[in-house]
Amino acid sequence: MALSAEQLAALRCDYSLAPLRRADLDGDPVVQFNRWLEQAHVAEVIEPNAMVLSTVDGEGQPWSRTVLLKVCDERGFTFFTNYGSAKGRQMGGNVRVALTFWWGALERQVNVTGTVEKTSVEESAAYFQTRPRKSQLGAWASAQSAVVEGRDVLERQFAEAEERFGEGAVPLPEHWGGFRVRAQTVEFWQGRRSRLHDRLRYVRTAGGWEVGRLSP
């Protein structure tokens, strides 16, 4: 049974785990992010590296979906996907993107805005070889985002990929690789009581990062 309008309206939490003060933050948002990511991992948040990637297509329509962060370092936030997918094509036409991480168990959120670029083929290949074999085969079997007639078609294409590569190494497909988001802003959000949440945002400037507090 669907939730009623009254039930939906009543769904809320009064967050109270911890404050977020300017003094709590590292001067580098990457260091701060990796600190929070590790805390989410220790807290056993399900897939703490899951992030919502938002892109915009050629008609100005925003799209969002969840992908998995695989590297976060001084270069940016890196994930891997099919370059021919809807998101891949959208990023090819508009490099401005946004990322959102939600760690409900810690009452935390991180929002990132920035621009995206492809990783090198060498970096993509190195990561591809760490993937489970069946995930490697899936990258060959699925034309991501394309219309497919049924599940049986996908299973047949997967079986064809298994037969094609046999017991040998599965190479990196030309249509598959990484994207790296170079952050322009990184906002750390900590839930607080009475909806007076803590929001501290880093903004990239010519001289480095500036941090300011935002109203909730």
Residues assigned a catalytic role:
195
Q: Is 6 left (phi over 0), alpha (psi -120 to 50) or beta?
A: alpha
Q: What Rg do the C-alpha atoms of the chain give, in angstroms?
A: 20
Residue 40's Cβ-count burial label (10 Å; 0-12, 13-18, 19+) is buried
Distances (CA, A) of 16 to 1, 35, 75, 187, 192: 31, 20, 34, 19, 5
Q: Is 44 left (phi over 0), alpha (psi -120 to 50) or beta?
A: left
